[in-house]
Amino acid sequence: MPRYRITIEYDGTSFVGWQRQAQGLSIQGLLEDAIVKFTQESVGVRGAGRTDAGVHALGQVAHFDLSKEWSPGRVRDAMNFHLRPHLIGVVACAQVEAEFDARFSAIKRHYKYRLLTRRAPPILERNRVWWTMQELDAGAMHEAAQALVGRHDFTTFRAAQCQAASPVKTLDRFEIAPDGDEIICTVSARSFLHHQVRSMVGSLKLVGEGKWSRRDLEAALRAANREACGPVAPASGLYLVAVDYPRGDVSTASYLPSPSPGTPDA
């Protein structure tokens, strides 16, 4: 059976998240429905990351098997036709080896978080940023974020309902930089805990406001206690921007910033 890999982008605002659920529209469910409509085959679609409700993607990756061989371009175009009018798009499709697995073959995932710091509310970017209405010290946030890079017990920044076997993860990179009226956080790791990125960004916002210092963030990390976490950042500002695979294959490398001097490259 031929296996296909697709790269997907979506606005997560109207969906219950990636995973198909009993109630509500999911990314996975709509992709599977689109495949049925053009192939008459009911297949499972496995994604690289199970994004939550409201979280967006620029470079989500998924795979599925079909009994008949189709050209990748035909698969992409047919899926996009049947996905309308939902804000989901298949931006690339390729036939891959049977051993490829969108989730388990991935060696690194990259997320971006956007904070809008201007006084005026977002109009065109509503539901796509975290509007803070206040200036934040991006330099202090970046410096503090380096305390989270490396291998740590991230219990403090883990959702209570997280199903990961261990709270220990290795964070490869955490970049924070201003971009006009926005502050952009870019985080890279092989895998993440449930709500880890949003929890870390929420705590780092306290640093940007001057309410926490790097030492406070380090103390929260060492506490290994969910109660030590700052407020969890809303889903609206979070994007899965790229997924890395062996042999240098990256789903959307153009979305990743260059590493800052003196910080570890992802």
Q: Which of 11, 33, 52, 249 is catalytic?
A: 52
CA separation, residue 90 to residues 25, 27, 71, 82, 108 (Å): 17, 11, 14, 11, 21
Contact 97, 3 (CB under 8 A): yes
Contact 257, 241 (CB under 8 A): no
Cα maximum dimension of the chain: 59
- The structure tokens 């800052």 sit at 260
Contact 20, 55 (CB under 8 A): no
Rg (alpha carbons) of the chain, rounded to whole number: 19
Q: Which conformational region is residue 128 in: left (phi greater than 0), alpha (psi within -120 to 50 degrees), or beta? A: alpha
**Which residues, in sequence order, are CB contacts of 115 under 8 Å at separation 6+?**
129, 130, 132, 136, 182, 183, 184, 185, 201, 205, 237
- The span from the CA of 62 to the CA of 31, in Å, is 10
Structure tokens that stand for 182 in this block: 């926005």
Catalytic (active site) residue 52: yes
Query: What are the φ/ψ torsions at residue 102 (nearest 5 degrees)?
Result: -55, -35
Residues with active-site annotation: 52
